[in-house]
Amino acid sequence: MSAADADYIIVGAGSAGCVLADRLTADGRSKVLLLEAGPTDATPLVSMPKGFGKLLADPKRVHYIPTAPDGDIPGETWIRGKMLGGSSSVNGMMYFRGHPEDYEEWVSLGATGWGWDVMSRAFTATERQLRPTVCGDHGELGDRLIAAAGELGVPHVDNLNHEAQFGVGYAPRTIRNGRRVSAAEAFLKPARRRANLQVETGVSVDRVTFEGKRATGVLGRRDGAPASFAAKREVIICTGGLFSPQLLQRSGIGPASDLSALGIQVVHDAPGVGSNLLEHRLQMMHYRLNRPISVNPQLRGLGLMQSAIRYALRRTGALAAGSYDVGAFFKSDPSQDRPDCELLMAPYGYLVQPDGTTKIPEYPSFHMFGYPLRSRSKGTIRLASADPDVPAIIKPNYLSDPYDRTVTVAMFRFIRRLAATSPLADVVAEELSPGLRIESDADIINLYRTSGQAGYHACGTVAMGGEDAPLDPELRVRGVSGLRVVDGSVMPTMLSANTNGPIMAVGWRAAELILRGRN
């Protein structure tokens, strides 16, 4: 297929883009061009679950995105995948659907057709290809945490994706037979055998082109040289919650006054593009153990070499595991009608070195963290320049909403109680980080603001919904034609979940809408 023949251009081969490429080419009627800024996913570090630690340090395969300092909140570096599969090729492989009421809330905000009846069907469909599995490494540490949570009223469940969501158990992951199952592996790999799909890597898209108000294609660069591509039907932006609003703004769709000040010709005044930035805020908690039941020895020195050999021969062991073994969805207040906090635990510890690298301790330890599920604090993404190589100004505005502060304090205290509850408490020697000096409500909020970190779940920045939203319920950009956005940026509210699974389901639902409207 020639790129000039494309009916649809999909910009971004991440979690949503791969699903779209598969679905839109399945019946052979449409020609699809998929553009990805990064390289292919052809490295063994992608398929090896614990390989993500090395991938996150490779600028060829991840984007490093700076955020702006904001009061006492320091600037951070957020990471996103830059290869086929996008962040699904470098993430921690946790797989959660979210609570059914999350999607009903979307409907109440004007996103008709996105309720749980529809999204549960989308999850079922994507899971036929993903086939997520529950963590099989049931170690003593995980069993103790699950039992301790039970003592605090959080029931042990076999399936953390059950509709009530409330419970603790071993986590579902996008891992099968000891190998990561990214969106590229599950959806793009089978689709690439089709003659009506063309995949181009190493292409950075700078802006969408228009004839009047109709999107006609994209302009960008391939290996530094200018490149342009035309779409007969639609351009579909799938570059994620951080990059999609920037691409729209560079293309003239965003807050008109901001764009004009940067010399960008306004195609449509859309104040909501780049607003409503939602993100999870977490704090790592590191505990020393009084007995050797962590996997630290398997991730350092000679033990790491042995783990590598075991993985190469059997696809098992520490390197075949995801980032976290145990998950919990619990309530900061028992009166809540559904969980409002998530916790994840890994049976290993790590120390951040002065140069930013991490080190596995010699002593037995583990870490866990939690965050409020449905964060309400809203940040912004605004261009600093029309030049696509100049970083945007990203202000997360963490914990600005009183709701987030209240839930964060209650959640932190719950995790402290969990570590102090038998049988987990029987093996915990001390809290290494943040340490017991963090005690008052003000201490906790200050800790999360100044030394917490992002969950890498940024969403909401090109939200769908009612007439004031940038997107209509079919993910079409309002004010223009031939242009959609399909990724985490379309979510009007934060979901009660890690976002990779829901973004793939969004891609599936979007394809259904696109195919339904195709002539």
Residues labelled as active-site residues? 457
Long-range pairs for 188-194: beta carbons < 8 A, 24 or more residues apart: 188/13, 188/18, 188/21, 188/22, 188/34, 188/84, 188/85, 190/22, 190/129, 191/18, 191/21, 191/22, 191/25, 191/26, 194/25, 194/26, 194/28
CB atoms within 10 A of CB 397: 18
How far apart CA 145 and CA 161 sit, in angstroms, is 19
In Å, how far are 119, 395, 482 from 472, measured between CA atoms? 17, 25, 13
How far apart CA 403 and CA 451 sit, in angstroms, is 20
**Cα 437 off chain centre by:** 32
CB atoms within 10 A of CB 124: 12
CB 144 within 8 A of CB 428: no
CB atoms within 10 A of CB 345: 26
How far apart CA 64 and CA 55 sit, in angstroms, is 12
**Which of 220, 211, 273, 224 lies closest to 9 in space, CA to CA?**
220
Give percent helix, percent strand, percent coil of the chain, each to the nearest 5.
30, 25, 45
CB 322 within 8 A of CB 170: no
CB 16 within 8 A of CB 22: no
How far apart CA 103 and CA 107 sit, in angstroms, is 7
CB 201 within 8 A of CB 38: yes
